[in-house]
Structure formats: structure tokens, C-alpha cells
């Protein structure tokens, strides 16, 4: 068989496999929820969190992404504030998910007195950030009657290659589904069949081991972290971007239910080590602070407050247990100074 013929057969084989995968979705009659393990897991998390909020209504909710999971100790905060506290977070979540989690999950099941949002850099005014691929599972698990606003702010205002490819190329749109299937099968097989434990328990145990023992691990070439800290100037124009962000809608929800809002900017490791130019970021945070004063919510900027040093960080911007404890205590002190939990001891 000639090399040309081998290439032809390889192309045909790949196309047949893709067609088989795509056709199986169309002909099986299986719903998107069941066919996508990632979405099914997201919906399971939402259901479990709803039950938790119903059974143990919090007075304080801490909302965010892994900066909350790795950076805030809700049990410690509850102990020192004497206010029932819970953290609601998903790895990699952006402001679109923050809004949906607040509206369709937290406020649907409880009415906290205080909402704390922990964020990095300019994520509060980047509605298009982290709404595709695996992040879309968490978005879809929460979206209800919010589709017009979600579509406008997160998708239609930011039409890019992903938007057009996902909506008009069926195979491209399915890439996440197939990736999820393979990832789910590998994780489930290795953890449950070989190691005999649940996938979630395995991931939690590994994360706990790394942060507790101070083991340094890096994602492939930590260059990806430093690359992620480089922000485009257009994305740091606060007054321009806030108008088309979810932040005003989050504020509106808090006002309607008389909930105090506190936003906390966590210090990034790259800033602690002074490895990037912060002029535009500093101006952005200053404008955010002005906006906070004008709209009666609190901005706490931990950058430059000397709360954390290099020994408090595990990987990238994630904190060790010592950093998590210090960060939580400092947030409590800032809130206490503002009398936001005034009737608490």
C-alpha cells in the first residue's frame, strides 16, 4: 500500500469515527444531560448544594472560584463570627457563573445577610470569561430564565471564533462532549476500578496533600500561569466594561433583598513577586473602588496589605492551609471594622 493510499484510509477512518460518535448522539434519543458526564456532575453538585442551603441556611455566603475553595476557611469564619457561613464555588468559575449562582441557587434557597465575593484582577467585568468548554457545563446547570441576559452579556457581545464554530459546526460543538466522555471514563476507571475510591474523593485527597505538606507542583511549564496574568488594556477600562458586565445585576439582586455585598480582591503571587507591570491593574482597581463607594458596597483589596507572603502560597495563586487561615482572619477583621456583622459577638 502506497503512502498516499495510507493517508486516504486514515482520513476516511477518522471521519467515520467522528460520524459514528455524532450519529450516536442524534439517534440514541439520550438527553444532553445524560450524554454529557460533565453536565450531569454539575447538575448533581447544584442539587446537593440546594439541599445544603435549605437544610442549613447561612447568614454569610462566600462566592467565587478556586480562590474561595483554596483561600477561604468558612468553618473558621463561622467560628469567630458566630454567623452560619457557607462557601459556594466552582473551579475556574467566572462572573457569569457568579451571577447565576447568586440568583438561581443562593437566593432561591436562602437569604443571607452578607455576600462576600472573592476575585482576581478584572474578572468582575469580564462576562465572556470562562463560559465555554468545560465551564459551560456549570453555566448550563444553573441557567433558567436568565438566557437572554446571559446570551447578551457573555456570548452575543463577544462573538468570537468559538461562538461561530460552536453554533455552526456540529463536530466542533461536540468536541467538549467527546472530551468529557473520555475524561470521565478514564477518571472513573482509574479511581474506582483500580484504586477503589470515588473520583471526587481522590481529587480532594491529592489537593489536600499538596497544600498541607507544602509540596510544590506545577502545571506543564508554569509559563501558563504567568501568561494568564497578562491582561489586555481594553479589558482594564473599568468604566467602559462595567456597563456590559454582570456586576450591576449582582448589585441589583443584593439591593432587592437588603444583602450587604463585600468584594475581596485576593493578592496574586505574580504581584507579590513583582513580576508584572501593575499600572493598568491598579487604575482599574481604583476605579472599581470609586464605583463601590458610589453604589454602597465594599471593596477590600488585599494586594499591598501584607496579609500574605511567599510561604503562604502553594501552586500559582492557591494558598496553603496557613495562608487560607490568615486570609480568612484578615477578611473577618476588615468586615468587623465596618460593623457588617454588628449584632454578632
Interval 170-192 mean pLDDT: 59
Q: Measure CA 297 to chain center.
A: 22
Write down the mean pLDDT value for the chain.
81
What pLDDT score was predicted for residue 207? 53
Q: Which fold has domain 34-337?
A: Rossmann fold (3.40.50)
DSSP state of 154: I
Would you state the pLDDT for residue 144?
Answer: 84
Q: How far apart are alpha carbons 51 and 48 in whole angstroms?
A: 5
Does residue 271 contact residue 279 with C-beta atoms inside 8 Å?
no
What's residue 104's pLDDT?
Answer: 96
Work out the average pLDDT over 341-345.
63
| DSSP letter string, 187-253 | HHIIIIIIS-S-HHHHHHHHHHHHHHHT----SSSTHHHHHHT---GGGG-HHHHGGGSSHHHHHHH
245 pLDDT tier (thresholds 50, 70, 90) = very high
Is residue 72 within 8 Å of residue 118, measured between CB atoms? yes
Model confidence band, residue 180 (pLDDT cutoffs 50, 70, 90): low
- Residue 211 neighbours by CB under 8 Å, 6+ apart: 70, 314, 318, 319, 320, 321, 324
* pLDDT at 39 (0 to 100): 85
Amino acid 200: pLDDT: 54
- The domain limits of the chain are 1-30, 34-337
pLDDT, residue 138, reads: 94
pTM of the model: 0.75
Beta-carbon contacts of 125 under 8 Å, excluding residues fewer than 6 positions away, are 95, 235, 238, 241, 242, 245, 247
Distance CA 342, CA 345 (A): 8
Per-residue pLDDT for 143 more than 80? yes
Tell me how far apart the alpha carbons of residues 337 and 330 are, in angstroms, rounded to a whole number.
11
> What pLDDT was estimated at residue 345?
45
Q: What is the mean pLDDT of residues 251-279?
A: 93
Query: pLDDT band at residue 34, thresholds of 50, 70 and 90?
Result: very low
pLDDT tens digits, one per residue of 45-104: 999 999 999 999 999 999 999 999 999 999 999 999 999 999 999 999 999 999 999 999
Residue 316: the pLDDT is 77
Q: What is the mean pLDDT of residues 312-331?
A: 93
Question: What sign does the CA torsion over 334, 336, 338, 340 have?
Answer: positive
Amino acid at each position: 500500500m502506497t503512502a498516499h493510499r495510507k493517508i486516504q484510509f486514515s482520513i476516511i477512518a477518522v471521519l467515520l469515527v467522528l460520524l459514528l460518535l455524532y450519529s450516536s448522539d442524534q439517534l440514541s434519543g439520550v438527553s444532553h444531560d445524560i450524554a454529557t458526564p460533565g453536565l450531569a456532575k454539575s447538575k448533581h453538585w447544584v442539587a446537593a448544594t440546594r439541599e445544603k442551603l435549605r437544610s442549613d441556611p447561612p447568614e454569610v455566603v462566600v462566592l467565587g472560584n478556586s480562590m474561595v475553595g483554596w483561600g477561604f476557611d468558612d468553618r473558621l469564619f463561622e467560628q469567630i463570627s458566630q454567623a452560619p457561613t457557607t462557601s459556594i464555588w466552582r473551579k475556574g468559575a467566572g462572573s457569569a457563573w457568579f451571577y447565576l449562582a447568586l440568583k438561581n441557587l443562593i437566593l432561591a434557597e436562602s437569604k443571607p445577610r452578607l455576600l462576600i465575593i472573592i476575585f482576581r484582577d478584572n474578572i468582575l467585568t469580564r462576562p465572556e470569561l470562562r463560559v465555554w468548554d468545560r465551564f459551560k457545563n456549570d453555566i448550563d446547570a444553573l441557567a433558567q430564565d436568565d438566557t437572554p441576559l446571559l446570551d447578551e452579556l457573555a456570548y452575543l457581545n463577544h462573538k468570537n471564533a468559538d461562538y461561530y464554530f460552536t453554533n455552526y459546526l456540529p463536530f466542533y460543538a461536540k468536541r467538549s462532549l467527546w472530551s468529557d466522555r473520555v475524561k470521565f471514563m478514564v477518571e472513573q476507571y482509574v479511581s474506582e476500578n483500580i484504586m477503589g475510591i470515588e473520583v471526587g474523593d481522590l481529587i480532594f485527597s491529592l489537593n489536600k496533600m499538596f497544600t498541607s505538606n507544602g509540596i510544590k507542583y506545577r502545571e506543564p511549564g508554569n509559563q501558563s500561569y504567568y501568561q494568564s496574568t497578562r491582561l489586555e488594556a481594553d479589558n482594564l477600562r473599568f468604566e467602559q466594561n462595567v456597563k456590559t458586565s454582570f456586576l450591576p445585576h449582582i448589585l441589583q439582586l443584593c439591593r432587592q433583598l437588603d444583602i450587604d455585598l463585600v468584594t475581596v480582591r485576593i493578592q496574586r503571587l505574580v504581584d507579590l513577586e513583582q513580576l508584572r507591570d501593575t499600572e493598568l491593574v491598579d487604575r482599574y482597581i481604583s476605579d472599581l473602588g470609586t464605583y463601590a463607594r458610589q453604589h454602597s458596597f465594599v471593596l477590600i483589596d488585599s494586594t499591598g496589605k501584607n496579609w500574605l507572603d511567599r510561604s503562604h502560597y502553594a501552586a500559582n495563586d492557591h494558598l496553603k492551609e496557613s495562608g487560607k487561615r490568615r486570609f480568612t482572619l484578615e477578611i473577618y477583621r476588615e468586615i468587623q471594622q465596618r460593623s457588617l456583622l454588628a449584632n454578632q459577638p
